[in-house]
Structure 1
Amino acid sequence: MLWHAIAPSRRYTKASHDVVRHPRLNSDAKILLLYVQGLPEQEVEKALSDHAKSLGISGRAYQRAKKQLIASGFVHEWKRQGRRGYWVTDQLFANISLTEEQAKAVRNDRVGDVVRSAVDPGAQEPTVGRPRGRETGGYEPVEEELGKNYSHPPSELAEVVESERVLLSLRHAHPQLHLGVREARGLAEAAAEWIRRGVSTADLRRALTSELPREGVRSAVGFLRHRLVPKLPAPPAAPAVAPVSPPSARELITCEAEGAVEEHVFRPFGDETVCGPCYREERAAALARWTEEARNQPPAPTWRERVAALADGTASPA
């Protein structure tokens, strides 16, 4: 159950401006907050998640927006158990930030009788009948919306949601462009195509609100559809790719390897002057020469022999 705690009209206007400039609320939280503030009384009994669904805010985006609203003091929740043992979640939605004590005072003032009538479940009479095991299955939490399958990939879905927000915000630029949620959702796909073609949200809003007819707008939906569909900008041209010319082949040079059997040429990759086969032969010959020299060297004296030589004075400390 969702209750409102709305300030008077003058404070309501100031609170709306504070919401728009709030540094710790993302765009989803701000839109949800402003949307619920303007609901009529007969709509306030719905859960906050239902209002978020009507705006296209669901899943993790809704959980993130709700968490920010609770942390900023705009939304407060309490769970209680009624007379029949069912758990009920009470939600208080305010257009100004309230502390926990202030929110409890508003709740007690609005629904004090309901809250005080809740009976401790341990004090109730036992249920008639034998105890049964816990029934599971067939229930999914309302607010913990699991993943849904959308017809659009995530990137296109984000563009549709962003364009819907732009369409809903047109009412603030001109009253004649006031759209309902369903009307904005019906035009969101056409507006999203503008964003896919490189138009920013600010330029999209400017294109929809500039140069309105002098006689006024009779139908906001028809006028905006006429702006969106026939005047859709052309897709951006693909950047021209310069042709890549293949690297030019280097000239043949004579191999300068020592001891070559006969003169031959090769095509170098860099500044080398010896071809690959000759270079490998030179390295192999040098390695064999170093190995032979190391084999012919006398064995190095052991540390005991070095100590004895120093003691006899027949060897220098170096």
Structure 2
Amino acid sequence: MLRHAIAPLRRFTKASHDVVRHPGLSSDAKILLLYVQGLPECESARPLGDHAAKLGMKTRAYQRAKELLEACGYLHVWRWQGEGGRWSTDQLLSNVTLTREEASRLRNGAPPEEPPNERTPTVGEPDQRIVGAPPKEEREKNLPHPPSEAPDAAAPAPEGEPEAELAAAERVLLSLRHSNRQLLIGVREARGLADAAAEWLRRGIPAAELRHALTTGLPADGIRSAVGFLRYRLLHKLPAAPEAPARAPHGLVICEGPGEDHVFRPVGDETHCGPCRIGPASRPRPPARVVSWRTLLQEGVPGA
């Protein structure tokens, strides 16, 4: 078999080999998945059945493709009852397999836990362009998710620098919009909340955990005020301050008091043990002498 392939420079959809070569997916399921992944944002909110109808799929073929996508973890469906008893359906179609927990996190607006990168990146860049690959400027232009202009929110703040903690907290607040558009706030609003967010960092909470606490479990009916919602969570979910570490006990030292050498464990900077500081009153009394009545008669007791 001969093959001729040229990578397109525009109007293309990136397809993983895991999807194209998946043995458990039919051709209809693969085409439907790739078709939806290439849709613009304005059309992605429509039901999956509408897109299948545009592709010319019959009802039975669509139901079969839908069942395979659900069984393989690419499609997740939720049915819920809203106000007035009206039922609604939410659908999440992903180009990677997701567990039910991971899909629920995405549905609630939280970022999924990224798997570790198993591939070691190659040092340096190739000197020549690979045959069939688009130029570098075209690849940057066609990125599905362009890099954020906000600084890295997960960068740790230097210890003991309040201004650095405030800056790190402000970066976390400004980056929340990447997890959920409802949490979009302005720079001035972020500065107003930065002190409350910085208190989390001062208590040893990493920036990633702070972001997770602010973006998970969002209200089902939406957020009316992003600033009010974030302020409430920052104040009411603030973790307890870490306990101060217990002071290590002092070691044993030799008492400078009279008598034979003996050691004790001081509480502060004392040089004498407790009995030596109290004096002879603390020393044990000698045992009382026990004398029998015969001895008393022999020695003679006055008045006997």
Q: Greater CA radius of gyration, 1 or 2?
A: 1
TM-score above 0.5, yes or no = no
TM-score range, shorter chain: 0.3 to 0.5
Task: Provide TM-score, normalisation by structure 2.
Answer: 0.34
TM-score (norm 1): 0.33
| The structure with more helix, counted as a fraction of residues | 1
